[in-house]
Structure 1
């Protein structure tokens, strides 16, 4: 009897998990707008579902970086008009000044995961100074390494090889001494 109860409980748990996994049946749409207010960069995410604004829905803002998206602040809930307003930082580096900004709804009970993006010129342009490319430095390779690194590495290699050669010579010396002992006997 216990065996059947275990099967029944397990079946009910699986059925419950399947039905609750499809509970996110509403689809939300996000529209991004970018504006500059005084010296602040402001990003607004307008969230709608079935033509109506969505209230109290957390929206997460992030910026595309090399390997993953960089989150900008904490998620902000939409207000009564369905708008989540973010103050965007002025100091995010970019090679050309353009940033790809993502607004997303993730892991909400009622709405499916949604993401939208937009490109804006709010990045700080990074200028790389390569004037010291031919100088010797710690991170340089081979011919541009510091002289004392080269000298120390050659000294260490010489000591290791010297030790190995000394050990081999001692083996031959022991072998030769053993032959001399045999001749004396």
Structure 2
């Protein structure tokens, strides 16, 4: 057990060190998680909108049935058929109760939709904050790399200027180096 715990601790330390050295990667993972949550909240909103539409349709159908039975009550009363009028009033009352239940259900769906929309707004704000942090981390990493380059080449006769912040080749190499470090960590974890 001791060897396994030592290896586990070693790997955790390497991963933490890697995360400290590459904070932008951690921020990218968090941003991806927020993107997934935003997609889920959008799906929920769309589902709730469909439920709301179905509830509205059911309410309108029930209202039409209430109107129909109310007319039948009037016809039965006009014809002196109290037995039919009474039965029609009972049916109308049942439809009114059903309509009230449907209305309450629709109101609940609307409340859920408002909560889902608020959640989506909060996720968007968090994603914007995270994007700002990621940009700052990348800027800091680029500055650190530039400082390291200047420190390493100080006093040497170097004809190649330091990479620009927007240097595409530098970004490609950084990405490749990061991928290589991840591959190496995966290999070590697989042993």
TM (norm. structure 2) is 0.28
User: Higher helix fraction: Structure 1 or Structure 2?
Assistant: 2
TM (norm. structure 1) is 0.29
In our comparison, the structure showing a higher alpha carbon Rg is: 1
User: Higher strand fraction: Structure 1 or Structure 2?
Assistant: 1
Using CA pairs under 8 Å that are at least 6 residues apart, name the structure with larger relative contact order, 1 or 2: 2
